[in-house]
């Protein structure tokens, strides 16, 4: 992962990365992920849901920090299926949005996909969530499908977006 990858945890995979604006850490704490989720989403997932998700081998999560050990201001949750990353959640706490954190997390994931030879990243986004759509389109995602009536609150279609890595 080029010059940005600095520190390694106990296994061979890194657990913390230096990026240009801040730090990205492996997200391993369901309480902290649930708190972040609550501040970013109206319909938040419960802590138990995060604990359950974490038991799956495909679960991967990261948090974004200004300093290596400061509080998390953003998070990213992905299903890792070896032939694709599927983004389940991405959020930046409201007081820190529009400062490039979401973009840095997306860039990180794209770089990770390249490094790990993952050919594709997929995600779904509410048709009314223009902030997130701007971020995804600016990161090179393209719409491949539309799921009619997929969301209930607020009601609306889901746009399925994809980015080819190689
Ligand atoms: C979507 C979200 C993660 C973006 O994170 P962010 O840190 O605010 O995004 P960035 O500052 O990195 O912005 C990157 C680009 O996204 C777009 N963008 C982000 N917020 C935007 C907004 N409110 N309105 C329009 N465009 C926006 C812009 O193109 C921006 O680039 P620019 O600032 O150079 O114009 C954040 O708004 C969020 O957490 N929203 C609530 C949770 C959510 O909806 N998650 C996505 C579910 S699919």
Give domain limits for the chain: 4-164
Tens of pLDDT, residues 55-104: 999 999 999 999 999 999 999 999 999 899 999 999 999 999 999 999 99
pLDDT at 18: 97
Nearest CA owner, ligand 1 atom 33 = 98
pTM for this entry: 0.94
Second-level CATH architecture of 4-164? 3-Layer(aba) Sandwich (3.40)
| H/E run at residue 7 | strand 5-8
Cβ–Cβ under 8 Å, residues 110 and 143: no
Tens of pLDDT, residues 123-146: 999 999 999 999 999 999 999 999
Task: Give the separation between CA 15 and CA 24, rounded to whole angstroms.
Answer: 8
Tens of pLDDT, residues 17-41: 999 999 999 999 999 999 999 999 9
Higher model confidence: residue 31 or residue 9?
Answer: 31
Tokens of 82: 């070896």
Residue 11 three-state SS: coil
Tokens of 64: 């974004």
Q: Which ligand 1 atom lies nearest to the CA of residue 93?
A: 39
Q: Distance, CA 10 to ligand 1 centroid (Å)?
A: 33
Q: Report the alpha-carbon angle 65-161-121, nearest 5.
A: 55
Cβ–Cβ under 8 Å, residues 139 and 110: yes
| Residue whose structure tokens are 């657990």 | 15
Residues with CB under 6 A from ligand 1: 40-41, 90-92, 97-103, 125, 129-132, 134-135, 138
């Amino acid at each position: 992962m080029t010059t940005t990858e600095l520190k390694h945890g106990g296994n061979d995979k890194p657990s913390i990365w230096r990026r240009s604006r801040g730090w990205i850490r492996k997200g391993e704490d369901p309480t902290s992920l649930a708190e972040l989720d609550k501040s970013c989403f109206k319909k938040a997932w419960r802590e138990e849901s995060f604990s359950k998700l974490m038991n799956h081998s495909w679960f991967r999560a990261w948090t974004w920090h200004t300093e290596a050990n400061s509080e998390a201001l953003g998070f990213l949750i992905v299903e890792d299926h070896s032939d694709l990353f599927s983004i389940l959640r991405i959020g930046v706490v409201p007081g820190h949005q529009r400062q490039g954190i979401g973009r840095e997390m997306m860039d990180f994931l794209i770089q990770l996909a390249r490094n790990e030879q993952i050919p594709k990243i997929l995600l779904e986004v509410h048709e009314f969530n223009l902030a997130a759509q701007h971020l995804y389109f600016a990161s090179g995602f393209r719409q491949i499908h539309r799921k009619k009536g997929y969301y209930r609150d607020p009601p609306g279609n889901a746009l399925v977006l994809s980015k080819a890595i190689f």
